[in-house]
Amino acid sequence: MVAADRSFESFRLLAAADYFDPLSTTGRLTRAVLNIVAIDRAGEHSARLRRTIAECRELIRSQQVSLIAFPEGTRSTGGVMLPFKRGAAFLALALGVPVVPAYIDGARRSLPKGSWIPKPTRIRVQFGPTIRPEEWGAIHGQKARNDYVSRELERRIADLARAATRGARAGSSGSSS
């Protein structure tokens, strides 16, 4: 959110509903504080998922928010990029919105999986070329479009990760200890 240079209120984080139980005080508080839209991880034809898509559509229309999805679905414990789930692409297709790939470097050091309190660490975010609806519009079939967006998102973020790694190595090669 900070890297996009926009206000916190202009974003909603998409997160698995089962992590943020609306019946618990902690779940409701966490949803409110972090601007979370809970995503039901049930099948793509579930009524709850359709309600989530309608909620996202209304947020985009009425409040002009941007949605943030984490396509891996969970955080890696080993620092490697995990295979992408289909949810981010599915949502982009359902809403007809462009997808901005972003690579986040340093978040794992700041808040490893299982931790609750972040450590002060430099975090860098790099944005890649936007995947626009025009790119998938000519592809026939929902599954084929979803596969395209998922693969393209994963490829573009992997490219950003490789570039960040090369940049980090180049930056450290000039220093001596």
Predicted local distance difference test score (pLDDT) of residue 175: 40
Between 66 and 170, the more confident residue is: 66
Question: For the whole prediction, is pTM greater than 0.85?
Answer: no
In the chain, the percentage of residues whose pLDDT exceeds 90 is 44
> Facing residues of 126 across strands?
103
Domain boundaries, the chain: 8-68, 72-169
Mean pLDDT of 76-87: 84
Predicted local distance difference test score (pLDDT) of residue 139: 95
Instruction: Determine contact, residues 39/15, Cβ cutoff 8 Å.
Output: yes
Mean pLDDT (the chain, rounded): 86
Residue 177 pLDDT class (50, 70, 90 cuts): very low
- Residue 131 to residue 153: CA distance in whole angstroms: 8
Nearest CA to 95 out of 131, 54, 42 is that of 54
